[in-house]
Amino acid sequence: MLGLGAFRKKQWGTESIPDLTGRVAIVTGGNTGLGYITVRELARKGAHVYMFSRTESRALAAIEKIKKELGPEVEPKLDYVNFDLQKLSSAKQAASEFLKREHRLDILVNNAATMGIPYELSSDGIELQACNGTGHFALTSLLLPLMKETAAKPDSHVRIVNVSSGLYEAAGSPDFSSLEGLNQKSWSSWGRYAQSKLANILFTNELQKRLEESGCKNIYCLSIHPGMVATEITRGPLQSWPILSPIEPIAMLFAKTPLQGALTQLYAATSPEVEEKGLKSALLFPIAQPQAKKPLAEDKDGKLGAQYWKLCEKLVAEKA
């Protein structure tokens, strides 16, 4: 007699990633946590992966660690490009460096982020957590022409994956009409983080819409929520609330491992099901499950997404 387990759908895993030989990928914040796993697994399947990270020494050490983990049977193609999410000029420099080296880009995983940190402005005058959105907007917009060229080639499967968070629901009533609105202080650092994660989803929606309107219908843009994961990103909340330090190790016992947390973005970046199921501008929750967006993120009239896009364009023009 068959048990209930026989009827359960097998959970998607890294073994389901197709052969990526010949494809080129970028992962931001790839030297640790979810980004590290994403870089490693894309490289394992044959992709040429560029690790976009702020600190060269940490990135190069991570690349060497990945090579050791993959072993002699795999010859990974891995490169480092300097990218500071909190400087719009860095996005321009990173994109320029990449475009000098490559003639295609199949996968862009906008993974880097800060979470729950105390209020502070970047050198561009942008609240640091808001840079989770503005920095990736700048980088993606500069790389988009190459991604469109790649999408026009035979057997292309171009993906743009923005790592968001289920905490976007706590964004309240964001104001993306101006830099002052973007930078406003909320009741806590969590509110600012939530706003940045909402921005990631709105950017995904608006980008997919604009691609469709331009006639580019074979680039798939997705937002994902990895779940609560035991990574270095917890440093931010501990800066804001040191009182949480004794609790943090206990909370991490219930968190996903980085590998578990990275599965949803790896699915979004590589799975043929994304195209088979038509998951354009989809929001995925763990593991690889489409989730209905709350009204603020659904943005049915498109006004909030268009407002955010216009503000990001202005900031890039002024500061990049």
93 by Cβ neighbours in 10 Å (0-12 / 13-18 / 19+) ranks as middle
150-195 confidence digits (pLDDT tens): 999 999 999 999 999 999 999 989 999 999 999 998 768 889 999 9
pLDDT of the residue at 228: 83
pLDDT of the residue at 320: 85
CA distance 295 to 208: 18
pLDDT of the residue at 188: 81
Q: With CA atoms as reference, report the closest residue to 268 among 41, 9, 6, 71.
A: 41
247 by Cβ neighbours in 10 Å (0-12 / 13-18 / 19+) ranks as exposed
The catalytic residue positions are: 193, 197
What is the number of helices (H) and of strands (E) in the chain?
12, 8
Strand order in the sheet with 77-82: 77-82, 48-53, 24-28, 107-110, 158-163, 219-224, 282-285, 289-290
Q: One digit per residue, pLDDT tens: the chain, 320 residues? A: 444 444 456 789 999 999 999 999 999 999 999 999 999 999 999 999 999 999 999 999 999 999 999 999 999 999 999 999 999 999 999 999 999 999 999 999 999 999 989 999 999 999 999 999 999 999 999 999 999 999 999 999 999 999 999 999 999 899 999 999 999 987 688 899 999 999 999 999 999 999 999 999 999 999 999 988 765 544 544 444 344 444 444 444 445 798 999 999 999 999 999 999 999 999 999 999 999 999 999 999 999 999 999 999 999 999 98
Query: By the 8 A CB rule, do 85 and 124 touch?
Result: no
Neighbours of 245 (CB within 10 A): 10
Bridge partners, residue 162, by sequence: 110, 223
Give me the residue label for tokens 């022409």: 145
Residue spans of the domains in the chain: they are: 17-319
CA dihedral 215, 225, 62, 114 (to 10 degrees): 100
Protein fold of 17-319 = Rossmann fold (3.40.50)
Query: By the 8 A CB rule, do 177 and 154 touch?
Result: no
